[in-house]
Amino acid sequence: MFVDSVDVLKNVFRNCLDVSVESRRVYLTRFTEQQLEFYRTDPLWAQRTGLAAGICLDFCTDSPFIKLAYEITYKDRDWFCFDFLVNGQFVECRGERPVKSLRSALQFMVESPCRRLNRVTLYLPQTIGLTLSNLELADGSRIELAPAYQGNFLCAGDSIFQGMDCIHPFASCAVQISRFLNMNLLNQSVGGLIFSRRTLDEEIHCRPDIILVAYGTNDWTKAESLDDFETRTREYFEKLEEIYPHAKTLAVTPLRRKDEELRYNVGPLAQIREAISRICRDFASISVVDGLSLVPHPFSFFDERGVHPSDEGHLYMALNLLKQIHGEDT
């Protein structure tokens, strides 16, 4: 049977701001219209806002399978994976590397004979933009909302925290942290993004308990000067604290890079790290996390460019950030 109820479809997707449904086709977004207006000032940012970082399909059912169709609208990488969990356990992934078809359908089997009603969770790829359609279960199956999470986690960063270059969306740092803390995730990270107060919208209906901010590595190559960077960074944190005065906020300085000894308008990348740390001392609600401490230093934990952590690198990031959240040293 196809899941036709608009109300049901809108409630079985998690970790997004809005779900719209038209003729069984589902469109998902992580941003408000005000935020999207800013991202449209850069064509690459605009495309990457359509990536489903952290978004998942999550509900309970007694169906022995779930089916759904997808259509790829944008490729940021030439691969993608859908990660499927049953009752919290990773079962399988489906995807392509390289991408061969822009339209297809998937079927996942729910093999858990000891439990009649199973919680199924499907994490969507963070490397492609897509629309979903024709969610299908076995005829006569039940579908119920999954148990609610306790608390909200907002992630605001660049491509690293958007999940590049993870193969598995389930392995990305933001997803792992949200699952460990049993929190809803809103991952508003966008590849190539810099510090800008315009990425923040006071009208957003998400009220996070924990915020992770991780910009700076793109500012290093794009900022006109160190003064320009420091001004934008301070304005960002001022507005962040104004909107979310009670949230626990972690500001992560840039991770290690192979090319970090290069010099741009602001100088070496170390200048960016030092400036973020210095500026954040003026904000009582913000704790600084040394990005150099999060991922093991061998570049085998990164992509070929030595910029984006691998799946294993993301798991180390999640582990060490969780220690910081709980007040332990990494």
Confidence bin at 111 (pLDDT 50/70/90): confident
Q: What's the gap between Cα 50 and its chain centre?
A: 12
- Please compute the mean of the pLDDT values over residues 322-327 and round it to a whole number: 92
- Tokens 């904000």 — which residue? 283
What pLDDT shows up at residue 113?
A: 60
Asked if residue 328 has pLDDT above 80, the reply is: no
**pLDDT digit string, tens, across residues 8-47:** 999 999 999 999 998 889 999 999 999 999 999 999 999 9
Q: Give the largest Cα separation in the chain, rounded.
A: 63
Sequence ranges of the domains in the chain: 6-145, 152-325
What's the pLDDT band for 305 if we cut at 50, 70, 90? very high
Domain 152-325 in the same topology as domain 6-145: no
Question: What is the structure's pLDDT at 206?
Answer: 87
- What pLDDT band is residue 116 in, cutting at 50, 70 and 90? confident
When pLDDT is averaged across residues 233-250 and rounded to a whole number, the result is 97
- Is 174 in contact with 54 (CB distance < 8 Å)? yes
Out of 2.40.160.40, 3.40.50.720, 3.20.20.70, 2.60.120.260, the CATH code matching 6-145 is: 2.60.120.260
DSSP code of 139?
T
Assigned fold of 152-325: Rossmann fold (3.40.50)
Backbone torsions φ then ψ of 78, nearest 5 degrees: -95, 40
Query: For 62-88, how does the pLDDT look when each residue is reduced to its tens digit (9 = 90+)?
Result: 999 999 999 999 999 999 999 999 999
b/e per residue, 203-214, with b = 16+ CB within 10 A? Answer: ebeeebbbbbbb
What was the pLDDT predicted at 329?
61
Q: Whole-angstrom Cα distance, residue 9 to residue 55?
A: 14
* Rounded mean pLDDT, 177-185: 97
